[in-house]
Amino acid sequence: MGKLAEKEQILLAYYVCNFLEKNDENANELGEVLTTALGDNLTSIQRILNEQGLLSDHDRMITNEGILYIDNVLHIQSDAVERNKLAYVKDNLMTYEIELSIPEIKEYIHKHVEIE
């Protein structure tokens, strides 16, 4: 069973949001989940991810580098079809038995990749 670091779990939540339909409702849901899960630590974690080039500073969304980082962590082929990325996330979380230790983020990711 693999375990993702806190930073990777947060980045995975941004990754999942990136491949959902682009609208305010999805963006707001992610913001609420991260605020609930991380509280006062959210801003500092976002700053660290931004400094590493994994999160965009201007819109607080995952960058191409962040997407490649998660693709690498989850063993998703870089040429995987974009519209199927959430299916790849689901398959790899289950195949590699990857543990998500932040309950709110786990619930968010499982909901959107359809893990019961």
Query: pLDDT digits over 17-76, tens only?
Result: 999 998 999 999 999 999 999 999 999 999 999 999 999 988 889 999 999 999 999 999
Count the Cβ atoms, other than its own, within 10 Å of residue 64: 10
Strands (E), 1-116: none
**pLDDT attached to residue 82:** 76
**Residue 37 corresponds to which amino acid?**
A
